[in-house]
């Protein structure tokens, strides 16, 4: 499988015994891309049998703790494992101060470099590219500066120009807004936060979050192939309710749990 997603954490701000905070790993031709890094991410990486050494880059959506509290511990552990390859980290400008703090107080002897790239975008912009994948960032509508990420495979000799190139988009914390479907237009798989079920719509909008129906409408408007839900509020325990609501708008829906693995494209 050359383009696969593993959901490490599907909780929102309040973790549960059976659900960790936001983190995902996208595997592209054997290289790993970590998307958000909530508390406990490094343990979840080990539980899923993934390699710290193969993490090529980290993409942080925003600086709320449930999306970033696990990053410094992960960096430290990578150092203990003897990583020497630089780690590229992408995120809002405020993330740089967090990394400077880490290097000042805990970075003595770290055997690899942290290469931070500030993400700043008012519309989709390419932030990273290698021979297998192109990553673009796009703005979201949350309380603080927040970005989603889109991963598009680039042609290779085994999957040449003209063949289908897999694509995946990660929409973290956001209230619905008009431009969002165009940012993720045509992706094979769309992950869209679904903090609340529809009965809590007013609370969702007040807190700049989405419901399962908001996520489904975005997937429909974007022409996505499949929709993955996550980032569930602790008060919403029945994941089937999220899935059932979303399917009234968009049929190909999966309410993710920690440890799910999706091959992209997902039919």
Instruction: Record the tokens describing residue 141, joined without a space.
Output: 């509508």
Distance CA 44, CA 249 (A): 32
Residue of 18, 36, 66, 188 marked active site: 66
- Measured between alpha carbons, how far is residue 30 from residues 1, 53, 56, 133, 170 in Å? 9, 11, 10, 12, 20
Helices (H), the chain: 41-47, 71-80, 95-106, 180-183, 201-206, 212-222, 239-247
Query: What number of other Cβ atoms are within 10 A of residue 82's Cβ?
Result: 10
Distance CA 208, CA 222 (A): 20
Residue pair 247/212 in contact by the 8 Å Cβ criterion? no
Strand partners, 135: 128, 151
3-state SS record for 76-108 = HHHHHCCCCCCEEEEECCCHHHHHHHHHHHHCC
Residue 66 is a catalytic residue: yes
Distance CA 64, CA 129 (A): 26
Whether the CA torsion 99, 150, 266, 18 is positive or negative: it is: positive
Q: How many residues does the chain have?
A: 267
Task: Report the catalytic residues.
Answer: 66
């Amino acid at each position: 499988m050359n383009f696969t997603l593993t959901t490490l954490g599907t909780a929102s701000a309040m973790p549960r015994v059976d659900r960790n905070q936001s983190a995902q790993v996208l595997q592209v031709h054997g290289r790993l891309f970590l998307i958000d890094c909530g508390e406990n991410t490094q343990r979840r990486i080990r539980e899923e049998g993934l390699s710290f050494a193969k993490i090529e880059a980290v993409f942080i959506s925003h600086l709320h703790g449930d999306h970033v509290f696990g990053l410094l511990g992960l960096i430290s552990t990578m150092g203990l494992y003897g990583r020497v390859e630089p780690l590229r980290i992408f995120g809002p400008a405020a993330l740089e101060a967090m990394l400077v703090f880490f290097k000042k107080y805990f970075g003595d002897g770290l055997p690899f470099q942290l290469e931070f790239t500030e993400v700043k975008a008012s519309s989709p912009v390419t932030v990273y590219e290698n021979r297998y994948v192109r990553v673009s960032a796009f703005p979201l509508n949350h309380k603080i500066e927040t970005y989603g990420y889109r991963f598009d495979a680039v042609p290779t000799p085994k999957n040449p120009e003209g063949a289908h190139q897999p694509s995946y988009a990660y929409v973290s914390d956001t209230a619905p807004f008009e431009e969002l479907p165009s940012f993720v237009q045509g992706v094979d798989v769309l992950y869209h936060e679904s903090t609340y079920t529809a009965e809590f719509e007013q609370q969702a909008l007040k807190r700049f979050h989405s419901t399962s129906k908001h996520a489904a409408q975005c997937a429909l408007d974007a022409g996505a192939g499949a929709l993955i839900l996550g980032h569930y509020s602790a008060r919403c325990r029945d994941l089937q309710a999220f899935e059932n609501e979303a399917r009234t708008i968009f049929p190909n829906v999966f309410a993710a749990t920690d440890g799910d693995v999706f091959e992209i494209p997902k039919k």
